Amino acid sequence: MVDGDIVSLNLLGFLCPVPVHETRRAVEKSAQGTLFEVLCDDPETLHDIPALCDRMGLVLLGVNEDAGEYAFRIEKR
């Protein structure tokens, strides 16, 4: 879902590598300056999504955890 320049990816229920793959696909199709909110519940994403950001030159703005769900805020620069 896209809301202005914010792309929301609901990847709850998916195990890695799906969250990383879907995040990468969305980022590759987006313009610079796009913000992403990626929702996951696989604990492996706490390592894998930040690693993806490093590899792709993305800015990880923050991660919030609530009841086993993780919300990653990412910016494509």
The CA-based angle 11-54-63, given to 5 degrees, is 45
Question: Is residue 77 a part of any domain in this protein?
Answer: no
Question: Is residue 25 a part of any domain in this protein?
Answer: yes
Question: Is residue 73 a part of any domain in this protein?
Answer: no
Length of the chain: 77
Question: Is residue 58 a part of any domain in this protein?
Answer: yes
Question: Is residue 72 a part of any domain in this protein?
Answer: no
Find the CATH number of the domain harbouring 26.
3.30.110.40
pLDDT for residue 35 = 97
The domain tally of the chain equals 1
Residue 4: pLDDT band (50, 70, 90) is low
Give this prediction's pTM.
Answer: 0.92
Q: Is the Cα torsion angle 42, 63, 48, 26 positive or negative in sign?
A: positive
* Residues 33, 16: Cα–Cα separation, whole Å: 26
Domain around 43: 2-65
Question: Is residue 59 a part of any domain in this protein?
Answer: yes
Beta 2-3 vs 59-66: how paired, if at all? unpaired
pLDDT for residue 5 = 81
